[in-house]
Amino acid sequence: MRRNDYLKQLHKHLKHVNDNERQDIINEYDTHFYSGLQEGKSEEQIAEELGNPKQLARELNASAAIERAEQSNQVGDVSQAILAVMGLSILNFFVILIPFIIILSIVFTLILTTVSFVLSPLALIFKGMVEGFQEVLMLDIFVTGTMFGIGLMLFVITYLITKVFYILCVKYLKWNIQVMKGSVGK
C-alpha cells in the first residue's frame, strides 16, 4: 500500500478523535513514512510494518474514547469507550461484554433496591389513602422507617460502588487495549 492510500484510510477510519488529534496522528504516521524512506525502505514495506490502517484506527479510536471517559466521568462516554474496545476483535467483544453485563446487572439491582427502600414511605402513605389511615399498623410504620433508613445507607454505598465501578471499568478497558496492542505487536 502506498503512503497516500495508507494515510487516507487511516484518516477515514479515525472517527472518535477530534480534528487536531487526527491531524497530529496523520502527521506522525507521515513522519514514519518519511523516516522509512530515508532508511531505504519502500512505501509498501513501511505500510506493512505499520500494520493495517483500519485496525490501527480502531485502536486509536478506542484509546481516545477511553481518555474521554476517564476525563469526563459521564456514563455516555464510558459506554462509547466500551463499544470502541469491543469493536477491536470478536474475542474482545466477549471479553468486555460478559464481565460488563454481570457487574452492571449487580449495580443496577443495587440501585433499584436502594430506590425502592428510600421510596417505601410513599407506599405506606398510599396504603393509608387506599385502606384508610386507621388501618396502618404501628408495625407498618416501624418497618417502613427501617427500610427508609437502610435505603439511605444503601444510597451512600450504591454511590460509592457505582463510582468504583466506573473507575474500574475505565482501567479494565485501558488494560484490555494494552493487552491487545501487545498481542498484535508479537
Please give the full DSSP string across 7-45, using - where no structure is assigned.
HHHHHHH--SS-HHHHHHHHHHHHHHHHHHHHTT--HHH
For residues 57 and 84, the answer to whether their CB atoms sit within 8 Å is no
Q: Report the C-alpha gap between 122 and 129 in whole angstroms.
A: 10
Question: Is the CB of residue 60 less than 8 Å from the CB of residue 45?
Answer: no
Taking the domains of the chain in order of start, what are their residue ranges? Answer: 1-51, 69-185
pLDDT tens per residue across span 67-126 = 888 888 777 788 888 878 877 777 778 878 888 889 889 989 999 999 999 999 999 999
Check: pTM over 0.75? Answer yes or no: no
Distance CA 150, CA 155 (A): 8
Predicted local distance difference test score (pLDDT) of residue 50 = 86
Q: How confident is the model at residue 170 (pLDDT cuts 50, 70, 90)?
A: confident
The per-residue pLDDT for 100 is 84
Residue (of 10, 7, 3) closest to 45 by Cα position: 3
